Amino acid sequence: MKKKQFKAESKKLLDLMVNSIYTNKDIFLRELISNASDAIDKLYYESLTNHKIKCKKEDFFIQVDVDKENRTLTIFDNGCGMDMEALENNLGTIAKSGSLAFKEENEKKEDISIIGQFGVGFYSAFMVSDHISVTSKAFSSDKAYCWSSSGAEGYEIEEVEKESVGTTITLHIKEDTKEENFSKYLEEYTIRELIKKYSDYIRYPIRMNVEHFHKNKDSEEEEKVIELETINSMVPLWKKNKKEVKKEEYDRFYQDKFMDYEVPFKVMHHSMEGVVDYQSLLFIPSHVPYNFYTKEYEKGLELYSNGVLIMEKCSDLLPDYFSFVKGLVDSSDVSLNISRELLQQDYQLRQISKSIENKIRKELENMLKEEREEYEKFFSMFGTQLKYGVYDQFGKDKDVLKDLLLFASSKEKFTSLKEYISRMKEGQEDIYYASGESTSKIALLPQVERVLEKGYEILYLTDYVDEFVMQTLMEYDGKKLKNVCVEDFNLDTEEEKEDLKKRNEESKDLLECMKESLEQEVLKVRFTNRLKKHPVCLTSEGNLSIGMQKVMNAMPMDEKIEAKLVLEINEEHPIVETLHKLYKEDLEKLKKYTKILYAQARLIEGLPIENPTELSTLISDVLIEK
Ligand code: ADP
Closest residue by Cα to atom 16, ligand 1, is 90
Question: Is pLDDT at 117 greater than 50 in this prediction?
Answer: no
**pLDDT band at 115; cut points 50, 70, 90:** very low
Q: Between 105 and 416, whose confidence is greater?
A: 416
Ligand 1 centroid to 279 CA: how many Å? 27
**pLDDT score for 223:** 84
Question: Is pLDDT at 511 greater than 80 in this prediction?
Answer: yes
Atom of ligand 1 nearest to the CA of 35: 20
**pLDDT band at 19; cut points 50, 70, 90:** low
Separation of first and last alpha carbons in the chain? 89
Specify the range with the lowest mean pLDDT, choosing from 62-76, 197-211, 299-313: 299-313
**pLDDT score for 337:** 57
Mean pLDDT, the chain, integer: 87
**pLDDT score for 113:** 38
- As a whole number of angstroms, the distance between CA 586 and CA 584 comes to 6
Ligand 1 centroid to 28 CA: how many Å? 13
Atom of ligand 1 nearest to the CA of 77: 23
SS3 for 317? helix
**pTM score above 0.85:** no
**pLDDT score for 48:** 82
Question: Is pLDDT at 119 greater than 60 in this prediction?
Answer: no
Atom of ligand 1 nearest to the CA of 99: 3
Closest residue by Cα to atom 18, ligand 1, is 35
Question: Is pLDDT at 579 greater than 70 in this prediction?
Answer: yes
Q: How far is CA 458 from CA 114, 176, 306, 449, 590, in A?
A: 42, 66, 52, 10, 35
Specify the range with the lowest mean pLDDT, choosing from 8-22, 204-218, 304-318: 8-22
Question: Is pLDDT at 600 greater than 90 in this prediction?
Answer: yes
Ligand 1 centroid to 138 CA: how many Å? 13
Question: Is pLDDT at 11 greater than 90 in this prediction?
Answer: no
Question: Is pLDDT at 108 greater than 70 in this prediction?
Answer: no
Q: Between 17 and 498, whose confidence is greater?
A: 498
- As a whole number of angstroms, the distance between CA 222 and CA 212 comes to 10
For the stretch 545-559, pLDDT in tens is 888 888 777 777 677
Question: Is pLDDT at 112 greater than 50 in this prediction?
Answer: no
Question: Is pLDDT at 565 greater than 90 in this prediction?
Answer: yes
**pLDDT score for 93:** 63
The mean pLDDT value for 100-121 works out to 46
Atom of ligand 1 nearest to the CA of 42: 25
Question: Is pLDDT at 325 greater than 90 in this prediction?
Answer: yes
Q: Which of 78, 90, 136, 169 to mutate to test the pocket of ligand 1 (most atoms within 8 A of CB)?
A: 90
The mean pLDDT value for 78-83 works out to 96
- As a whole number of angstroms, the distance between CA 487 and CA 489 comes to 6
Ligand 1 centroid to 64 CA: how many Å? 17
159 CB-near residues (< 8 Å, 6+ apart): 143, 144, 145, 146
Pocket (CB within 6 angstroms of ligand 1): 31, 35-36, 39, 77, 79-82, 90, 95-96, 119, 121-123, 167
**pLDDT score for 625:** 59
**pLDDT score for 626:** 56
**pLDDT score for 120:** 58
**pLDDT score for 23:** 62
Atom of ligand 1 nearest to the CA of 75: 23
The mean pLDDT value for 542-571 works out to 83
| DSSP assignment string, 207-228 | EEEEEEEEE-TTT--EEEEEEE
Domains, the chain, with CATH or none: 10-230 (3.30.565.10), 237-370 (3.30.230.80), 385-484 (3.40.50.11260), 503-626 (1.20.120.790)
* DSSP percent split of the chain into helix, strand, coil, nearest 5: 45, 20, 35
For the stretch 443-490, pLDDT in tens is 988 889 889 988 999 999 999 889 999 999 999 999 999 999 888 788
For the stretch 228-270, pLDDT in tens is 999 998 888 999 999 999 999 999 889 878 888 899 999 999 9
Atom of ligand 1 nearest to the CA of 31: 7
Question: Is pLDDT at 101 greater than 90 in this prediction?
Answer: no
- As a whole number of angstroms, the distance between CA 122 and CA 94 comes to 9
**pLDDT band at 188; cut points 50, 70, 90:** very high
Question: Is pLDDT at 57 greater than 90 in this prediction?
Answer: no
Phi, psi of 267 (to 5 degrees): -115, 135
404 CB-near residues (< 8 Å, 6+ apart): 361, 364, 365, 368, 386
Phi, psi of 166 (to 5 degrees): 140, -170
**pLDDT score for 102:** 44
Q: Let me know: does 513 contact 587? Beta carbons within 8 Å.
A: yes
Ligand 1 centroid to 93 CA: how many Å? 11
